[in-house]
């Protein structure tokens, strides 16, 4: 990883935590390796993913904790915005961030406590990037999982999301069902799974099994997908408060069906991981060869 000391900063948005660091021309292989090693919650710093920051143009690139690439992340981009302002990479309350899911326009309402709105764009029922088998339209689709039939709806909201409406009295395991839907052969590239409980027309609860992470405390793009699908089903209004385990997000649907996500982000700490940590996979590889 070079001789320079790596510095990472840890941020979270509604409990969804990320490591952020300046992108100094790391290769794709290095980024995958760094994400798996540094995000490990037992032997690394611990996070749901790592975000590589470029300043010119202002760009975010995110890898999940399993080393997989993610085109965008709703909670991640709010953390990115706070990091960029903390590091004085941008000034003012309006700026644009380049992502693999296209440019996103941000508006910072308040610095302390930090609060930002992001235009997440539109959601789509069918998109080539969803990589659904036979390019099927998945809307109120009956999916057999174990001994139950689930009605699922899949949309592309910066990445693929599958929404399942649940009742507060449902007793099945979100982790177990989420993993089964995520791994289902219907989804060639797997899927995020969002379990949505409707409280009333202005309030919902969302629990997400995230592709590349597993069960997570929050997923911003998943909240957008959940609100959009619920709105189309006449279950909610255009302005919804999404309740998560460690915070809330406000999701608004504009007249032209753009989804605006508003919420906070907090800095946790700065860290300088030991070089030995980043060389971990090399050491493990040598140990494996010796055992053989």
Half-sphere exposure of 257 (CA within 13 A, CB side): 9
Is residue 212 within a helix (H) or strand (E), and if so which, with residue range?
none
Position 284 pLDDT exceeds 50: no
Nearest Cα to Cα of residue 103 among 57, 68, 64, 63: 57
Question: pTM to 2 decimals?
Answer: 0.91
pLDDT per residue as tens digits for the range 123-153: 999 877 888 887 789 999 999 998 889 999 9
Domain 128-256: give its CATH architecture: Roll (3.10)
Does 128-256 match 8-121+267-291 at the fold level? yes
Told to judge if 73 belongs to the known catalytic residues of this protein, a careful annotator would answer yes
Q: Binning pLDDT at 50, 70 and 90, where does residue 287 land?
A: very low
| CATH architecture of residue range(s) 8-121+267-291 | Roll (3.10)
Could you tell me the residue ranges of all domains in the chain? 8-121+267-291, 128-256
- Residue 219 designated active-site: yes
Q: Are strands 203-210 and 192-200 parallel, antiparallel or unpaired?
A: antiparallel
Predicted pLDDT of residue 247: 96
Active-site option among 39, 219, 223, 224: 219
Write down the catalytic residue from 14, 39, 73, 224. 73
């Amino acid at each position: 990883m070079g001789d320079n000391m790596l510095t990472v900063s840890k941020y979270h948005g509604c409990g969804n935590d990320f490591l952020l660091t300046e992108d100094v021309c790391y290769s794709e292989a290095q980024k995958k390796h760094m994400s798996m090693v540094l995000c490990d919650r037992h032997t690394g710093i611990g996070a749901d993913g790592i975000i590589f920051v470029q300043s010119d143009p202002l760009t975010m690139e995110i890898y999940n904790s399993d080393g997989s690439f993610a085109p965008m992340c709703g909670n991640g981009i709010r953390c990115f915005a706070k990091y960029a302002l903390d590091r004085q990479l941008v000034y003012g309350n309006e700026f644009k961030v380049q992502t693999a899911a296209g440019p996103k326009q941000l508006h910072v309402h308040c610095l302390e406590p930090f609060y930002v709105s992001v235009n997440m764009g539109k959601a789509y029922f069918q998109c080539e990037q969803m990589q659904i088998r036979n390019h099927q339209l998945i809307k109120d689709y009956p999916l057999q999982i174990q001994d139950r039939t689930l009605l699922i709806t899949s949309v592309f909201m910066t990445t693929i999301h599958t929404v399942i409406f649940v009742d507060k009295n449902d007793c099945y395991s979100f982790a177990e069902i989420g993993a089964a839907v995520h791994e289902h052969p219907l989804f060639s590239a797997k899927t995020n799974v969002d379990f949505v409980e409707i409280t009333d027309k202005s309030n919902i609860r969302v629990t997400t099994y995230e592709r590349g992470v597993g069960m997570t405390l929050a997923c911003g793009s998943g909240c957008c997908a959940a609100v959009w699908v619920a709105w189309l089903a006449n279950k909610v209004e255009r302005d919804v408060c999404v309740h998560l385990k460690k915070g809330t997000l406000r999701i608004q649907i504009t007249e032209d069906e753009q989804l605006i996500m508003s919420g906070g982000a907090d800095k946790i700490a700065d860290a300088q991981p030991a070089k030995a940590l980043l060389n971990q996979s090399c050491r493990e590889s040598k140990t494996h060869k010796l055992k053989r």
